[in-house]
Structure 1
Amino acid sequence: MTDHEIVALGAAESRFQDALRRNDIDELDGLLHDHVRFLGPDGLTIDKAADMAAHRSGSLVFTEVHELQRDVQVFDSVGITRVTLHLAGKVGGEPLDAQLAYTRTWHKQGAAWTIVAAHGSVVPQRD
């Protein structure tokens, strides 16, 4: 693992978060592997087609994507990003305003990193 690889994967994570914030369908499509699977905070697993359909239809829209914490690791052509985000927007027409922790597994092919698996969990709010 080199510093260059960690920086490159960190940049890919930043691009992904920015694409979520802007609802940039083309950028999201390029950063998600065709066979990606997401395990959401609700315990359901969805594929790329379902995720992209939610973004395209507007049933999943983020008005705020604010990173609170990040950790990046690279193991040859596999990378892992762990981020805690404050997200605001709408999911299925319902308002969202929460902190979520995500672990994303990335695969590097050539110079490009793509997400091959992701898991999100709600971070409980403490008083």
Structure 2
Amino acid sequence: MSHTIAARIQAAEEQLRQAMLASDVAALEALLDPELLFTNHMGWTFTREDDLDAHRSGMLKIVDLDLSEQCVLVRGDCAVVSVQARITGRYNGVPSNGTFRFMRTWAPDEASGQWRVIAASSVMVV
């Protein structure tokens, strides 16, 4: 069972990557839990709406997003993903490039069963 969940999470991670690259707000809405808590590498906390607004407005534009070193840990009804991401893009018109380590917690939505990110954090890799 955990192998099947891990495969689903890996597929969801790829969907998330594609949605972020395309600023596909509809796909991001489906993948990010309404109660999402995200803490970035600066220690700032964001909600799902903050993230969606950044994509929707064009404030955040990711040009390239290469993932590596992905590890999926399944426990009960949730999964934790650690992944390294090399990102090229712009935030508020300013180049924002770097390598980051993301930690995301995925859980199935109670109503639909669709896996969604409920919590995430990032650190800069130096």
TM-score range, shorter chain: over 0.9
Secondary structure in 2 aligned to 1:62? strand
- Is 1:66 aligned with 2:86? no
Secondary structure in 1 aligned to 2:28? helix
TM-score by length of 2: 0.93
- Is 1:118 aligned with 2:120? yes
What is the CA-CA distance between 1:92 and the residue it aligns to? Answer: 2.1
Correspondences of 1:51-62 after superposition (within 5 Å): 51-62=51-62
Secondary structure in 2 aligned to 1:100? strand
What is the CA-CA distance between 1:40 and the residue it aligns to? Answer: 0.5
In the alignment, structure 1 segments of 5+ residues that lack a partner are none
Q: How many residues align?
A: 124
**CA displacement, residues 78-115 of structure 1 (integer Å, 9 cap, x when unaligned):** 11111101000101221012101000011113541100
Secondary structure in 1 aligned to 2:7? helix
Aligned residue number for residue 97 of structure 1: 97
Amino acid at match of 1:39: T
Q: Find the aligned partners of 1:82 and 1:2 in 2 and give their Cα distance.
A: 16
TM-score by length of 1: 0.93
Runs of 4+ in 1 over 4 A off after TM superposition: none
Secondary structure in 2 aligned to 1:50? helix
Cα RMSD (Å) = 1.1
What is the CA-CA distance between 1:69 and the residue it aligns to? Answer: 1.5
Secondary structure in 2 aligned to 1:41? coil
Secondary structure in 1 aligned to 2:97? strand
Secondary structure in 2 aligned to 1:10? helix
What is the CA-CA distance between 1:2 and the residue it aligns to? Answer: 2.2
Percent of counterpart pairs with the same letter?
26
